[in-house]
Amino acid sequence: MQNSIISDRLKPYLGPQIYTQFTQLAIQKECVNLGQGFPNYPSPQFLRQAISEEALVESLQYTSTSGLPRLLKSGAEFFSKHIGISIDSEKEISIGAGAQTILVSVFQAILNKGDEVICFDPSFDVYKPMIEFQGAKQIGIALKIGKWNNKEEMLRKFENGIFRQDKEDIWKIDLDSLKYHLNDKTKMIILNSPQNPNGKVYDQEELDQLADILENYPNVVICEDAAYHHLPFGDYEIFNYPRSISHKRLSKKTICVISAGKMFSATGLRVGFAIGPESIIKGVKAAQTYHLFCLNPIMQAATAKSLELCMDGQYFKEKRIFYEKQAQTLLKGLVESRLNLNYMVPSGGYFLLTDISNVEIPEQYFIHPDTKETLSRDFAFVYYLANEFGVVCIPMSPYYSDKRIGEKLVRWAFCKTDETIQEACRRLK
């Protein structure tokens, strides 16, 4: 009776999300938490100060449903300048409570019952329920894995204090599989770049290939999830790396999702943006009217002030250097660990993946400690790691439609302080 009161579409998602589950495990076992993707260092002082100043002067009444005009203006100015496009602050941008509710509004605005949405796996696990809640279906197409490197291969890549990323390390779209899955029901393709969890940045050639393929499917929209657009590594330019929203042939069919929380290392800020053509933004604003209605004005005003302060982009350049360094430090610690892992060098974002196929996991960890259910290899690995090494990471089967691929992978977050990463590496050595 109790469970039957919950809607059918929500029933499969009643249990705790993996992030909650493993953050709880980290607390319970006093582990170093490299699971959930939140920075564990203070968010910038200028943002905190802006929040406290705005709290004293900003109205606490309803605001415009599409966002505070000041934030629409500073967001349009910042993104136009740094992405290299022109955004009309009245028609081509909308604000929501983090990238997550923006994604909900985008899906509500675009998807009809029976539509199909293509995601390139490993893909952020919240897409699937959000797509299903609209009566649509997620089609997961696994990216082609370049090459997993063992310890010796990684050590050969280590030059001048960093792991070199070679061409064969890069994940690629399986174009044949994409062509096979595209059909009249396909309404959307999600392009998450830099990608959570594998740190992939989609390159110019892939975007051109996508544009060629989509010539035959003019009604397909690209949802560019750019939650980590301030963190492409290496030679990629921050904000202005190859992206769908600025691509000559894709921009008009792209709706781009941005997270101010990720940009300012403040995941609790809950401010996000949608930018794109007026025809889609109109729907996003309308959808938002009927769930969020409007966003907390203090947080919006403080975000506007912070974007204005950082308009030259320098703050983000410094942060990018920091994140890239953290990625390299964690990778080095994992290469030097007692674990028999395989590795790839990430191109951006908050996370890196390792392959756990060769790790010997004691039998007992394949049984859930409380429910006694049988666990897949990736979940068993996380329990093994938490219990025997005091470190927590995230299992990757929830990020794959084909669970057999994800069961061999785990995700490690490097958006953490030096002390946290060093302590994790010490425990794993």
Ligand X SMILES: Cc1ncc(COP(=O)(O)O)c(C=O)c1O
Q: In the complex, which residues of this chain contact ligand X (CB under 6 A)?
A: 37, 98-100, 124, 192, 196, 225, 227, 259, 261-262, 267, 272
- For residues 192 and 120, give the distance between their C-alpha atoms in angstroms, rounded to a whole number: 8
Q: Which of 418, 227, 420 has its CA nearest to residue 326?
A: 418
Q: β-pairing, 391-392 with 32-33?
A: parallel
DSSP classification of residue 84: I
Integer angstrom CA distances of residue 221 from 116, 117, 174, 212: 11, 9, 19, 14
Q: How far is the CB of 69 from ligand X (least distance, A)?
A: 21
Q: What is the closest distance, in whole angstroms, from the C-beta atom of residue 36 to ligand X in the complex? A: 9
Structure tokens, 278: 């007026």
Q: Which is nearer to ligand X, 350 or 384 (CB)?
A: 350
Residue 372 beta carbon to ligand X: minimum distance, rounded to whole angstroms? 31
Cα(88)–Cα(273) distance, integer angstroms? 13
- Cβ at position 151, least distance to ligand X in Å: 29
User: In whole angstroms, how close is the CB of 230 to ligand X at the nearest point?
Assistant: 12
- Nearer to ligand X among residue 149 and residue 193 (C-beta): 193
Q: For residues 83 and 425, which CB has a smaller minimum distance to ligand X in the complex? A: 83
Residue closer to ligand X (CB basis): 206 or 335: 206
Q: Look up residue 346 and give its amino acid.
A: P
CB-wise, 259 or 265, nearer to ligand X?
259
Q: How far is the CB of 165 from ligand X (least distance, A)?
A: 21
Give me the residue whose beta carbon is nearest to ligand X: 98
Burial of 318 (0-12, 13-18, 19+ CB in 10 A): exposed
- Closest contact distance (angstroms) between CB of 282 and ligand X is 22
Q: Which of 18/359 has CB closer to ligand X?
A: 18
Give the nearer residue to ligand X in terms of CB position, either 95 or 298: 95
- 37 versus 149: smaller Cβ distance to ligand X: 37
399 close to 199: Cβ distance less than 8 angstroms = no
Amino acid of residue 44: P
Write out the H or E segment, with its range, that includes residue 115: none
For residues 201 and 211, give the distance between their C-alpha atoms in angstroms, rounded to a whole number.
Answer: 17
Closest CA to 412 of 429, 398, 425, 403: 425
Instruction: Record the tokens describing residue 214, joined without a space.
Output: 């989509």
Task: Give all strands (DSSP E) within 151-213, no chain letters.
Answer: 158-159, 162-163, 186-192
In whole angstroms, what is the distance from residue 303 CA to residue 318 CA?
A: 19
Residue 251: strand, helix, or coil: helix
Q: Minimum distance between the CB of residue 231 and ligand X, rounded to whole angstroms?
A: 11
Closer residue to ligand X in complex, CB, 197/297: 197
| Strand bridging mode 342-343 / 272-275 | unpaired
Q: What is the closest distance, in whole angstroms, from the C-beta atom of residue 267 to ligand X in the complex?
A: 5
Q: State residue 78 phi and psi, 5-degree precision.
A: -65, -50
